[in-house]
Structure 1
Amino acid sequence: MTADESPRDAAAAQEKRRFGLSERKLALILLFITPVLFCSNMLMARLVHDAFPPVALAFWRWTLAFCLLLPFAAATLWRYRFAALKEWRDLLVLGALGMGACGAFVYIGADTTSATNIGLIYSVSPILIVILAHVFYDEQLSPLQGLGVLLSLLGVVAIVCRGDIGVLTGLSFAVGDFWIVGAMAAWAVYCIMLQHRPTALPVTARFAAIILGGIVVLLPFTVMEGLGGELPALAPRSFLIVAFVAMIPSLGAYQVYALVQRILGAGPTSLLMYLFPLYNGVLAYLLLGEELRSYHLIGAALVLPGIYLATRKPT
C-alpha cells in the first residue's frame, strides 16, 4: 500500500486482482469447452445437408435464437434503443458476417465438402485474425505466444494429414470448400469488429441486436430460396434440428465466445479454432464410431500446450 492509498482502496484493489485472476481462469476453462459448441454445428451441417435448405436453416436458427434471447434482452434493448439506432450499420454488418455468412455459407458448403475439411479450413482463421488485429489495431503476440501458435498449427497439420505429410499433397477441394473459406474469412472479420468497434450497448443487448441484423440480411435470401422450390419439411425432425442449432452452436457458442474474447482478447481467443480438428476427431469417435488414431494423440500433445502458451499474458 502506498502513502496515498487508504486501506479501503488497497482492499478494493486486492479484491479486483483476485477477481481478475479467477475470471481469467474461467476464460481459460471455457476456451477448451467452446469448440465443442461450435463443432456441433459443423457435424450437424453434414448430418442434415440433404434434409434442410441451407439458407432457411441459418434463418430459422437465428430467428429462434433471437426469440429465446429476447426475454433477457428486451428491456435493455429498449433502454438503449437510440444507441442501437446510431450503431445500426455496425450491427447490420456484424449480423451479415456472424449470422449470415458464418451460418448459411457453412450449410451450403457442407453439401459438397466434409466435416474434416470444414474443420481444417476454419483452423486457419486464427492466423487471419492475428494478421488483421496487427494490421488494423496493432494487437501483437509475444514470442512465447508465437511459439504457442506454431505448436498449435503443427498439431493441426498432424491431425489433418493423419500423420502422413504426403496426405497434404493429395488434398482435393470441392466447391463447398470455397464456401467454407468465405465463412472463415467472415468469422475473422466478425471477431475483429466485435472486439474493436466502439459500442454503447451492453453485451447481451448488442448480441441480440446483431442477431436481428443477421435475420434482416438472411430474410430476402430465405424467401428467394423458398421461391426456388427449396422448403424445409414440416416434420418433427425439422423442428428438432432448428432447436438444436439455435441453442447449442448459436446462443451457447457465441455468448461463451464473446465472454472469453472480452477477457483474453481477440488474438488469443481465436486460437480455440485450432481445437476444431481435434474435437471433430474425438466427437466422430464417440458419436459415429470412427477410430481414434495415434495422430489424434500427437496432435493433442501439440495443440493443448500450444493453446496454453498462446493465451499466456506477456510478462
Structure 2
Amino acid sequence: MPFVSRRRLAWGLLLLSPAMFAVNMLMARYATFVPPNALALGRWLGVALLLLPFVWPRLVRHRHALGREWPDLLLLGALGMWVCGAWVYIGGRTTPALNIGLIYAASPILVVALGRLLHRERLTAGRLAGIALCLAGVAAVFAKGRIDNLFSVQFTEGDLWIAAASTCWGLYSVLLKHRPSALDPLTRLCAIAVAGSLVLLPFTVGEAMLWSGPDFSDWRTWTCWIVLAIIPGVGAYGAFSFCIRELGPSVTSVSMYLGPLYVGILAWVTLGEAPQWYHLVGTALVLPGLFLATRPPAKGA
C-alpha cells in the first residue's frame, strides 16, 4: 500500500497545477521580446530534453505503441503545444492578462460539455451548481466586485487567439483522457512534447524568415525558456496529465477556475499588488464550487 495513494496525489496536484499554469499567463505578457512560435518551441523542446533521460527506457520498451499512437501524439502536440502555446503568446502581445484569464476560465465548461456529448459523462445537478459558483467567483474577481466593470471589458484582436487556444485546450483535455495509450502520463507527455516541437519547428522557421528570430545572446530568452519548460511545462502539464488519467477531464478541468486567483497571488508576490476584498469574495465562491463540480456522483444515482 503506497504512503500516498495515486488518487490522493491527484487531488493534491489538482490544486497545484493551476498555479503552475498561471506562470505561463504571466510569461505571455512579459516575454514579448521572444517571437511567439520560438518561445513555444524553446519551451517544449526544453520539456522533451528534461524528460528524456528519465523516460527513455520506457520509450524504447513501448516503441511499438509509439508506432501505433503517432497520429494521436501529433494531434495532441499540435493542440497542446502549438495552439495552446504559440497562440497564447501571440494573443498575449495585445491582450491583458485579465482577458487571458477570463477567456481561459470558460474552458472547463467546454470540457464538461464535450465529455457529456461525446462520451456520455454524467452531468449532475451538483456539477452544474459547482460550475455556476466557479463562474460567479471568477466574474467577481474580474469585475472587481462591480457588474458594470465586467460588461466594460474591452476585447482585442488578441482575444481571438486566446479564445481559439482555450477551445483547443478543451479538445486536448478530452482527447488526452479518451484516446487509449500504453504510455504512463510522464512518458506520454515527453512523446507529445517531441511531437509538438516537430509541429512548431516549421512555424518557428517561417516566423524567423518573415519577421524575426529569437536573440540567442540575450540571457532573458534562455531564462524564459528554462522557466517555461520547468514550471508550466513539465510541472503543469505533467500534473494535469496525471489528474486527467486519475480523475477524468471534467473533474480536472474545473480546477482551472483557480487560475485567476493564483495569477492574483503571483502578481501580489512579484509585483506588490495586494489582494482586494473582491478576491476574497471570488475565493469564497470558487472553492465550494470546485468541491461541488469535482464531487463524484453517488453510486446508483
Asked whether the two chains share a fold, i.e. TM above 0.5, the reply is: yes
Name the aligned partner's letter for residue 284 of structure 1: A
Match of 2:261 among 262, 269, 278: 278
Deviations 1:209-240 (A, max 9, x none): 11111011100000001112311112222111
Q: Which amino acid aligns with 2:129?
A: L
How many angstroms does 1:124 deviate by?
A: 0.2
Partner residue of 2:109?
127
Q: Is 1:181 equivalent to 2:163 in the alignment?
A: yes
SS at match of 1:173: coil
Superposed counterparts of 1:24-39, under 5 Å: 24-39=7-22
Q: What RMSD, in angstroms, separates the aligned Cα atoms of the two structures?
A: 1.5
What is the aligned partner in structure 1 of residue 44 from structure 2? 62
Deviations, residues 20-74 of structure 1 (Å, cap 9, x unaligned): 994333322221111110000100110111x111100001111111011101111
Structure 2: runs of 5+ lacking an equivalent: none
Aligned pairs for 1:157-306 within 5 A: 157-233=139-215, 234-306=217-289
Instruction: Give the corresponding residue for 1:152.
Output: 134
Residues 116, 280 of structure 1: 8 Å contact kept: no
The yes-or-no answer on 1:143 pairing with 2:125 is yes
Q: TM-score, normalised by structure 1?
A: 0.91
What 5-or-longer segments of structure 1 have no aligned partner? 1-14
Do the aligned residues in 2 keep the contact of 1:130 with 1:140 (CA within 8 Å)? Answer: no
Contact 1:191 1:266 in 2 (8 A): yes
* Alpha-carbon separation, structure 1, partners of 2:145 and 2:111: 27
Task: After superposition, give the CA deviation of every residue in 1:124-169 in whole Å (9 maximum; x if it has no partner).
Answer: 0000000011100011232222221111111011111111101122
Write the distance in 1 (CA, Å) between the matches of 2:63 and 2:218. Answer: 37
Distance 1:149 1:21, change over 3 A: farther
1:71 aligns with 2:53: yes
Instruction: Give the greater-gyration-radius structure (CA).
Output: 1
- Counterpart of 1:82 in structure 2 is 64
Q: Is the Cα–Cα contact under 8 Å of residues 40 and 249 in structure 1 kept in the other structure? A: yes
Distance 2:273 2:155 in 1: 22
Q: Deviations over 1:179-218 (max 9, x none)?
A: 0011101110000000001122232222211111101110
Q: Which residue number corresponds to residue 29 of structure 2?
A: 46
SS in 2 for 1:112: coil
Q: State the Cα distance separating 1:261 from its structure 2 match.
A: 1.7
Alpha-carbon distance in 1 for matches of 2:7, 2:78: 30
1:96 is matched with 78
Deviates more, 1:56-65 or 1:74-83: 74-83
Amino acid at match of 2:20: L
Q: Residue 200 of structure 1: SS of its match in structure 2? A: coil
Distance 2:144 2:3 in 1: 40
